[in-house]
Amino acid sequence: MKVLAKALKYGDDINTDLIIAGKYTKTINKKELALHAMEDIDPDFTDKAKEGVFVVAGSNFGCGSSREQAPTALKEAGVLCIAAKSFARIFYRNAINIGLTLVECDTSSIADGDVLEYEVGSETVKNVTTGKKTRIVALPEIMVDILLAGGVVNYYREKQY
Amino acid sequence: MNAKTIAEKVLSYHSGRDVSAGETVFCGIDLMMAHDANGPMAIKAFENMNGGKVFDPSKIVMIMDHACPAPYERAANLHMLMREFSRQQEVLLIECGEGVCHQLVMERGLVKPGDLVIGTDSHTCTYGAMGVFSTGVGATDMGVAFLTGRNWFKVPDTIRINLNGELKPHCSAKDVILYVIGRLGAKKANYKAIEFYGEYLERCTDADRMTIANMVVEMGAKTGFTCYSGLGIEAGKSASYCEVIDIDLEKITPGIAKPHTVDNYSPVSEIEGLAFNQAFIGSCTNGRIEDLRTAASILRGKRIADGVRLMVVPASKSIMMKAFEEEILTDLLNAGAVLFTPGCGACVGTHGGVPGDGEIVLSTANRNFKGRMGNNKAFIYLASPATVAVSALHGVITDPSCIDI
């Protein structure tokens, strides 16, 4: 499974309230969640993301709440992968569980608008614009399997756990 | 077990083998708590796995607290979904108005030391005050646990934090944890567990230990234990810690977290005099009877300043009833407070105290992110119940060290 998309770059400590405010989370309609993704930090986010994007950020991405609506809103808005220097723990699990690919790596050399390429399970992410390859923190095998299955729900279905 | 941290002990017991930090283990779970903000998505995830019956209904509790009473039809319909699921699956359901999930789980004795607990809320770590390895998860993780009774955990490294010396009068557990978070930063304990130690933890109340455990997630921690002789579980004598941090309690003064991050710490004295619009006393961090008593002792027989609103939300109905019995709520209402249904609405921005554009809120809750209380143009400051109450009296942020105790 390969991701090839343009980077939208943000800073450190992008918290779950910025990703989707609590007031919008009282729904199980994923499309509704997507409408409000990142609106407090980038009002044009949903327009920019709909073509399919790579969100790139600094450290501690997704800190705060356990709301799975956060990765869900991003995925539904068109985010194909998130690259960050580090992720908050609960967000990290939630994203993998819903089949949203995460890449933990040094993102400082990536610029807004760069085209990035990542093959799920591989050890590097490639900046197609600059030609630079960056080593990533390897994903445990079980997480690669969950991502390849499209999330933990499909993973369990396939495994008949 | 002599070399194990509390986290390693609990995950060893629950995985049936001897595990250490860094390993990934599958564990049986003692309690799964889902609330109305994320429970409905967990139910959907469970159904999408062709759920059928839950693994063990006696290990699940559904609690309605985030949008209670329902402020609009979407929330009301999600409540209906939870009621129906609970009825079909014969799962304990706690209705709107009973209180904040974490307060209820502890108040009703649903957990015991050494348990492994997950909840669909990041502040599930609160039960660390009772020796429980408890941590927040998302909806899909909860759906998997409903189905299998298990989930996977990475055994965390543990940071040991020694709280040394005596805490000054006018300072509370909230001042301690705000100071610690300010010093260590919002990502210091990401993926890790924390064990707090110190004489202070022997002397303080259950409520204080809950306030401290509640906020470890604001440093990214997976779980945190306030270790004292009554915790019910202890680390091995030769347990190894990834880091040991000493905190000198004598240096702590009443503190505040400024917008828009919890680690944006300042002593209250440095921003004294800042005018604000709304004071909030409540939440799973500081909505307990001890907190309401503190506020009432400051506000009894007095009036809050003109131009300031004071919202009081007890963390549970039983706390509210106790506060009525003790006439604390009468004191607070006479002082100008507005009382709202026990629950999470104000803190998480659903309803019951949404600030206006540009307004400043002084709150006893645990999170001050932009937009947290329902308005991204508001500014939230976090402080202790004493700081919030005395500031409400003066209409400007005020150091509680000025009051007689």
The whole-number pLDDT of residue B109 equals 97
Question: Using one digit for the tens of pLDDT, what is the confidence trace for B320-367?
Answer: 999 999 999 999 999 999 999 999 999 999 999 999 999 999 999 999
**Which structure tokens are listed for B153?**
């955990």
Q: How far apart are CA A117 and CA A133, in angstroms?
A: 9
Q: How many CA atoms lie within 13 A of B205 on its CB side?
A: 11
Q: CB under 8 Å, gap of 24 or more: what pairs does B88-92 form?
A: B89/B53, B89/B54, B89/B57, B89/B60, B90/B57, B91/B54, B91/B57, B91/B60, B91/B61, B91/B62, B92/B60, B92/B61, B92/B62
Tokens 């609590």 belong to which residue?
Answer: A22
Map residue B258 onto helix, strand or coil: coil
Task: Assign B231 a pLDDT band (cuts: 50, 70, 90).
Answer: very high
The whole-number pLDDT of residue B197 equals 98
Q: Is B157 on the interface with A (CB under 8 A)?
A: no
Q: Which of B296, B294, B280 is nearest to B332 (CA)?
A: B296
- Which of the residues B140, B152, B157, B367 would you substitute to probe the A interface, choosing the one with the greatest number of A C-beta atoms within 10 Å? B140
The whole-number pLDDT of residue B21 equals 97
The whole-number pLDDT of residue A158 equals 82
Region B85-90 average pLDDT: 98
Mean pLDDT, all residues of chain B = 97
Chain B residue closest in CA terms to A28 = B41
Task: Assign B405 a pLDDT band (cuts: 50, 70, 90).
Answer: low
Selecting from A86, A88, A98 the residue whose C-beta is nearest the C-beta of B140 gives: A98
The whole-number pLDDT of residue B244 equals 98
C-alpha distances in Å from residue B79, one per residue of A23, B4, B39, B72, B103: 16, 42, 9, 11, 20
Nearest CA of chain A to the CA of B334: how many Å?
Answer: 31
Chain B residue closest in CA terms to A87 = B190
Region A129-152 average pLDDT: 93
Q: Is the pLDDT of residue B289 over 70?
A: yes
Q: Where are the domains of chain A?
A: 2-159
Q: Is B140 on the interface with A (CB under 8 A)?
A: yes
Name every chain B residue with its beta carbon within 8 A of the beta carbon of A28: 40-41, 44, 78, 81
Q: How far apart are CA A90 and CA B221, in angstroms?
A: 10
Mean pLDDT, all residues of chain A = 95
The whole-number pLDDT of residue B74 equals 95
Angle (CA) B364 B366 B368, round 5° = 95
Selecting from A26, A59, A90 the residue whose C-beta is nearest the C-beta of B138 gives: A90
Q: Which domains does chain B have, with CATH numbers?
A: 24-152 (3.30.499.10), 158-252 (3.40.1060.10), 256-400 (3.30.499.10)
Question: Using one digit for the tens of pLDDT, what is the confidence trace for B36-52?
Answer: 999 999 999 999 988 79
Region B372-377 average pLDDT: 96
Count A/B contacts: CB-CB distance under 8 Å.
132
Q: How far apart are CA B136 and CA A90, in angstroms?
A: 7
Question: Using one digit for the tens of pLDDT, what is the confidence trace for A68-127?
Answer: 999 999 999 999 999 999 999 999 999 999 999 999 999 999 999 999 999 999 999 999
Q: Is the pLDDT of residue B245 over 80?
A: yes
Q: Which of B348, B355, B359, B360 is nearest to B397 (CA)?
A: B360
Q: Is the pLDDT of residue B113 over 90?
A: yes
Region B12-24 average pLDDT: 95
Q: Which residues contact A122 (CB under 8 A, 6 or more apart)?
A: none
A55 alpha-carbon distance from chain centroid: 6
Task: Assign A160 a pLDDT band (cuts: 50, 70, 90).
Answer: low
* Overall CATH class of domain A2-159: alpha beta
Q: Is B151 on the interface with A (CB under 8 A)?
A: no
Selecting from B38, B72, B144 the residue whose C-beta is nearest the C-beta of A66 gives: B38
Nearest CA of chain B to the CA of A37: how many Å?
Answer: 13
Question: Using one digit for the tens of pLDDT, what is the confidence trace for A3-55?
Answer: 999 999 999 999 999 999 999 999 999 999 999 999 999 999 999 999 999 99
Nearest CA of chain B to the CA of A128: how many Å?
Answer: 31
- Which of the residues A41, A63, A155 would you substitute to probe the B interface, choosing the one with the greatest number of B C-beta atoms within 10 Å? A63
- Which of the residues B25, B65, B187, B260 would you substitute to probe the A interface, choosing the one with the greatest number of A C-beta atoms within 10 Å? B187
**Which structure tokens are listed for B262?**
């919890």
DSSP single-letter state for residue B249: G
Decide if A22 and B37 are in contact by the 8 Å CB cutoff: yes
